C-alpha cells in the first residue's frame, strides 16, 4: 500500500442516483480529480478501440464489464494520476474490484447516494450527456442553456444507449447482486457514509458539509 497524505474517495450509488452530477460539484468545490469508469468506457467505445468494441454490447445489455478488464483499466489510469487527491465514480462495483483497489491504495471515504429505484427509472430517460467530458444534463432538472447543446463547448448532447427502460431494469438488478455487497465491504472498514434522498440539490449540502469537515479540518490554522 502506498503511504499517502492526499485524499482518496469513492462515490457509490445505483445507476442514475446522481454520481456524475454530484461528482462534478465535488471536483469543482474541492479540486479532486474525477475518474468515472463509465465515462472511460464510453470514450473507448467512441474512439472504437479494441476494448471499446468488445465491451459495447456488454454495456448496452446492462451487464458489468469483467472484473479483470475493468480493474486493469482504472488502476492504470490511477497510477497515471500520481500522488493526487481523487474521486472514483463507478469503480469499484464488485467486491473483487474493491479488493484489487485495496492492494494499491487505501480509500479515505466512500460516499453512498441512497436514492429509491422508482425515482431513478424516470430520471434516466430524460438524461442527456456530453460524451467528451461526461457532463450530465436532465431536461427536467438541469437543462442545457441551449436545447441539445453542451453549455461549455456548444457540441451536441447525446442519450446513452443503455438508458432504455429495459436496460435500466437490468442495471438495477446487477447493482443489487454485485454492487450492494461492496457497500457492506466498506461499512465494515468504517469508511462508508450514506446520504439518502430523492433530490441531488437536497443531498448536496449535507455531502458538502461532510467533505468540508473531512478535507478542510486537518488544514485548519493554515492561511
Instruction: Judge contact between 192 and 186, C-beta under 8 A.
Output: yes
The DSSP bridge pattern shows strands 135-138 and 127-130 to be: antiparallel
Task: Decide: is 41 part of the binding site for ligand AP5 (CB under 6 A).
Answer: yes
Of 98 and 213, which CB lies nearer to ligand AP5 in the complex structure? 98
Q: Which stretch binds Mg ion (CB under 5 A): 30-38, 56-64, 78-86, 193-201?
A: 30-38
The Cα–Cα gap between 209 and 9 comes to 15
Of 83 and 103, which CB lies nearer to ligand AP5 in the complex structure? 103
Q: Could you give the angle at the alpha carbon of 174 between the alpha carbons of 73 and 94, nearest 5°?
A: 45
- The single residue listed with the C-alpha cell 458539509 is 209
Q: Which residue among 10, 35, 70, 78 contacts ligand AP5 (CB under 6 A)?
A: 70
Instruction: Judge contact between 78 and 36, C-beta under 8 A.
Output: no
**Footprint of ligand AP5 on 118-137 (CB under 6 A):** 123-124, 127, 136
Of 6 and 95, which CB lies nearer to ligand AP5 in the complex structure? 95
Q: Which residue among 182, 200, 211, 215 contacts ligand AP5 (CB under 6 A)?
A: 200
Instruction: Judge contact between 36 and 115, C-beta under 8 A.
Output: no
Task: Decide: is 20 part of the binding site for Mg ion (CB under 5 A).
Answer: yes
Task: Decide: is 16 part of the binding site for ligand AP5 (CB under 6 A).
Answer: yes
The catalytic residue among 19, 42, 123, 135 is 19
Q: Which is nearest to 10 in space by CA: 89, 65, 67, 85?
A: 89
The catalytic residue among 121, 160, 178, 208 is 160
Of 136 and 211, which CB lies nearer to ligand AP5 in the complex structure? 136
Instruction: Judge contact between 135 and 129, C-beta under 8 A.
Output: yes
Segment (H or E) for 77: helix 67-81
* Number of Cβ within a 10 Å radius of residue 82: 8
Pick what 34 binds: ligand AP5, Mg ion, none; C-beta below 5 to 8 Å, kind-dependent.
none
Q: Which is nearest to 69 in space by CA: 47, 46, 49?
A: 49
Question: How many amino acids of this chain bind Mg ion (CB under 5 A)?
Answer: 3
Q: Which residue among 57, 106, 142, 153 contacts ligand AP5 (CB under 6 A)?
A: 142
Q: Which is nearest to 63 in space by CA: 193, 201, 177?
A: 177
Q: Which is nearest to 159 in space by CA: 194, 188, 183, 125?
A: 125
Question: How many amino acids of this chain bind ligand AP5 (CB under 6 A)?
Answer: 35
Binding stretches for ligand AP5 (CB under 6 A): 13, 15-21, 37-38, 41, 58-59, 62-65, 70, 90-91, 93, 97, 123-124, 127, 136, 138, 140-142, 162, 171, 199-201
Interface residue list for Mg ion (CB under 5 A): 19-20, 38
* Catalytic positions: 19, 93, 127, 160, 171
Amino acid at each position: 500500500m502506498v503511504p499517502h497524505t492526499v485524499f482518496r474517495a469513492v462515490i457509490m450509488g445505483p445507476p442514475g442516483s446522481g454520481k456524475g452530477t454530484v461528482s462534478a460539484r465535488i471536483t469543482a468545490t474541492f479540486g479532486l480529480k474525477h475518474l468515472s469508469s463509465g465515462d472511460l468506457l464510453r470514450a473507448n467505445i467512441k474512439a472504437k478501440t479494441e476494448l471499446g468494441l468488445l465491451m459495447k454490447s456488454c454495456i448496452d445489455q446492462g451487464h458489468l464489464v469483467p472484473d479483470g478488464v475493468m480493474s486493469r483499466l482504472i488502476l492504470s489510469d490511477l497510477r497515471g494520476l500520481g500522488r493526487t487527491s481523487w474521486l472514483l465514480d463507478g469503480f469499484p462495483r464488485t467486491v473483487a474490484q474493491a479488493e484489487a483497489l485495496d492492494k494499491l491504495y487505501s480509500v479515505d471515504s466512500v460516499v453512498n447516494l441512497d436514492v429509491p429505484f422508482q425515482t431513478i427509472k424516470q430520471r434516466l430517460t430524460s438524461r442527456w450527456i456530453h460524451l467528451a467530458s461526461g457532463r450530465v444534463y436532465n431536461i427536467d432538472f438541469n437543462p442545457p442553456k441551449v436545447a441539445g447543446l453542451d453549455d461549455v463547448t456548444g457540441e451536441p448532447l447525446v442519450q446513452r444507449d443503455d438508458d432504455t427502460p429495459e436496460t435500466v431494469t437490468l442495471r438495477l438488478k446487477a447493482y443489487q447482486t454485485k454492487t450492494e455487497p461492496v457497500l457492506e465491504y466498506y461499512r465494515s472498514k468504517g469508511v462508508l457514509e450514506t446520504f439518502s434522498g430523492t433530490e441531488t440539490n437536497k443531498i448536496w449540502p449535507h455531502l458538502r458539509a461532510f467533505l468540508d469537515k473531512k478535507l478542510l479540518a486537518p488544514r485548519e490554522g493554515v492561511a
